Amino acid sequence: MSEERALRRAVYPASFDPITNGHVDIARRAAAIFDEVIVAVYDTPAKSLVFTTDERVTLCQDALKLAGIENARVAKYSGLTTDFAHREGAQVLIRGLRGVSDFDIEFQQALMYRKLAPDIEVLLLMADLKYTFLSSSIVREVARLGGNVSDIVPPNVLAALREKFDNDHSPAPVPRHLHS
């Protein structure tokens, strides 16, 4: 008697503005655990974005393809992450941890996810040591100021950052330590 096993599906939600090698590493590791990983691009985070939702989706799709992660797909969403996970039939939410400060935030968020959707588990994956310092906001700032981010973002993201900031003619702010 053959029983059909339910597809093990996980959602990896974030704003991905932009996706970094750290994000790709978490997606790759999650894809090794689950049948399908949905990299979920949140379209309306409460923060300033450099890339539009559609640009972030395309950057994620291209980065995952470049990384050879075949059982991951990208989708954009709005509203509650748990509602999106239910619509997609996911049983697990994937979150990445870089350090202790992330743990505090992720712990609170996991408890809220549990309250909203007790049937969905939260799996926290530790960032690879070489990515523990990495965040999208740091990448954006370094790239905006002309710094080298080539070893911390996928090649398609590097090109998009260069295009975005080479076309930005607004003056760079004076670093805080240079203010008199």
Active site residue 98: yes
Q: Give the contacts of 90 (CB within 8 A, at least 6 positions apart).
A: 9, 10, 11, 38, 120
Q: Which of 2, 5, 47, 177 is labelled catalytic?
A: 47
Q: Which of 15, 56, 95, 136 is labelled catalytic?
A: 136
Active site residue 47: yes
Q: Which of 23, 56, 95, 140 is labelled catalytic?
A: 23
Active site residue 136: yes
- Closest to 161 measured CA to CA, from 33, 42, 50, 34: 50
Residue in the block written with tokens 């941890």: 97
Residues 10, 38 contacting (CB under 8 angstroms): yes
Q: Which of 73, 86, 98, 144 is labelled catalytic?
A: 98
- Cα–Cα distances (Å) from 77 to 57, 88, 152, in that order, read 10, 11, 26
Catalytic residues: 23, 47, 98, 136
